[in-house]
Chain A
């Protein structure tokens, strides 16, 4: 199954989803298609004015351009997701997930899809991590 992950650039979640037999839908994968496209109009990420306009599908014109540009990349991934895992309170989220407002909107868009969803808190120690990994494993195995 295609599993959307939050934070969408997380190494750990990506790895766990794949390790337990599913296909993680990650922002890196979506960006990889953009940045290796033959026509690079807007380096570095090749998010163009048209992409930002496509973001209007998810948020209105009064929403800052950076949010609409991000949503234009996340949106199609969310649309094709069959399940999702959120790891809340990840201590630091940078790069692709730099905008907190976008991240909240992304979670709402996923919830509205009514797909199987596992919500976890980022662990603070080994004991919590054990519970997190067990839950992720059980959730992903349950999807098969």
Chain B
């Protein structure tokens, strides 16, 4: 049983405590609350150096200090507080830094509303448990044998075939029906590789459809996308040693993951609004009547400063776009502004929840949009690495990790 220390405020009164526990239980974890007494609280506040007004936040700090000092034995840490609470947001971020400074435990932070359901937390919990339980598997740096990885994402389905640490086949297509999309992707990738499905020694699945496809393909590895994508990203970027930050702007949600030697230790996922997703860029391309593949180059030629764009909401974002075009701005400027709008929101939300460590590796379908990479560079002040086949991180990670289950290797 993986013990996940819960440092939180407001979960029981928002009706989400049970959802948190269910998400943890579903992946073999258990939420635990580090024991503290009155004296611990006083000294913890002094050590930590921030004295919040809310008592529950004081308690949260004392529990964190207890874990950090090794008085309480936990395998991972989950830090959560109510969305929109300023005091808790300050404590949440600082506690995450404190835990990372004092321990090697994986941490995830989360801000919830009363509508938060266990399904929304499942991927995060699964990643926490995986990092603890499968450390050896995640430490694998080379793919062996003949394996396939299938990444069933919200927008696209990707498949990759690897043999002895080389990519020999790959294919992607927009996700429609989960089964048939995966079948097609796999078959096409197999065709490129020149191998038959029966020859595959292992299959790994990841992404939204991972469980369904895992059963269908009798996968040896069925894994959430946080750990799989980070593994794929460091492998593709050849950055398996040392630290890095992976920014994965996907179709529906974004991930920012910090890794140490290819193993995630802090991650955040999801945005408040679709304004920071690949889907927003698709909407922009559609409105500008260009292919999504052309949007990047178009953005490269534009000046985002000329177009003010709401970075928090896709609907308002498109409204700004329409107004700007009407005001005589060029399509290039608008495309550039759209990319910056996404980059800004990633920076203001996701990247505030983690400690950005360089280099930054930018992956996911949107990393193919050159204007999006430039926008991230402008925002971060440093150019992100975009590895080859950067949209295939999930499939590559799944192929690589599934080879860890092969006997005799």
Contact = CB atoms under 8 A, between A and B. Distances in A.
In the complex they form, do A and B come into direct contact, defined as C-beta atoms under 8 angstroms apart?
A: yes
Interface of A: 42-45, 47-49, 51-53, 62-70, 73, 92-94, 97-101
Contact of B12 (A44, A68, A97): A44
Contact of B41 (A47, A92, A99, A100): A92
B59 A68 contact: no
Given A43-B21, A64-B14, A65-B15, 16 more contacts: A42-B17, A43-B17, A45-B17, A49-B15, A52-B114, A64-B82, A64-B84, A65-B10, A65-B114, A92-B55, A94-B55, A94-B59, A97-B55, A98-B54, A98-B59, A101-B54
Contact of B56 (A49, A65, A94): A94
B83 interface: yes
B83 A64 contact: yes
B216 interface: no
Nearest to B60: A98
A88 to B, nearest CB: 13
A98 to B, nearest CB: 3
Nearest to A104: B53
Contacts of B113: 65
Which residue among B12, B56, B58 has the maximum number of chain A CB atoms within 10 Å of its CB? B12
B405 interface: no
B88 to A, nearest CB: 8
A64 to B, nearest CB: 3
Nearest to B8: A66
Contact of A47 (B14, B54, B82): B14
Given A42-B15, A47-B14, A66-B14, A53 B114 contact: yes
A66 B17 contact: no
Given A53-B114, A97-B55, A70 B13 contact: yes
A64 B10 contact: yes
B82 A67 contact: yes
B9 A66 contact: yes
A70 B15 CA distance: 10
B86 to A, nearest CB: 9
A57 B14 CA distance: 15
Interface in B42-90: 52-59, 81-85, 87-88
A81 to B, nearest CB: 20
Given A64-B85, A65-B112, A65-B114, A99 B10 contact: yes
A9 to B, nearest CB: 11
A99 B15 contact: no
Nearest to B12: A45
B287 to A, nearest CB: 30
Given A43-B17, A49-B115, A62 B55 contact: no
A64 B10 CA distance: 9
Given A53-B114, A99-B10, A66 B82 contact: yes
B54 A62 contact: no
A98 B17 contact: no
A30 to B, nearest CB: 12
A43 B22 CA distance: 11
Nearest to A7: B55
A141 to B, nearest CB: 32
A69 B82 CA distance: 11
27 contacts: A42-B17, A44-B12, A44-B18, A45-B13, A47-B12, A47-B14, A49-B114, A64-B14, A64-B83, A65-B13, A65-B114, A66-B13, A66-B85, A68-B114, A69-B10, A69-B12, A69-B15, A69-B114, A73-B13, A94-B55, A94-B59, A98-B55, A99-B13, A99-B54, A100-B54, A100-B55, A101-B54
Contact of A65 (B18, B52, B54, B83): B83
Contacts of B326: none
A99 B112 contact: no
Nearest to A42: B15
Contacts of B58: 92
B38 interface: yes
B121 to A, nearest CB: 15
Contact of B15 (A48, A62, A97, A98): A48
A43 B18 CA distance: 6
A73 B53 CA distance: 21
A1 B172 CA distance: 72
Contacts of A66: 9-11, 13-14, 81-82, 85
Contacts of A99: 9-10, 13, 54, 56
Contacts of B82: 64-67
Given A49-B115, A92-B41, A99-B54, A63 B84 contact: yes
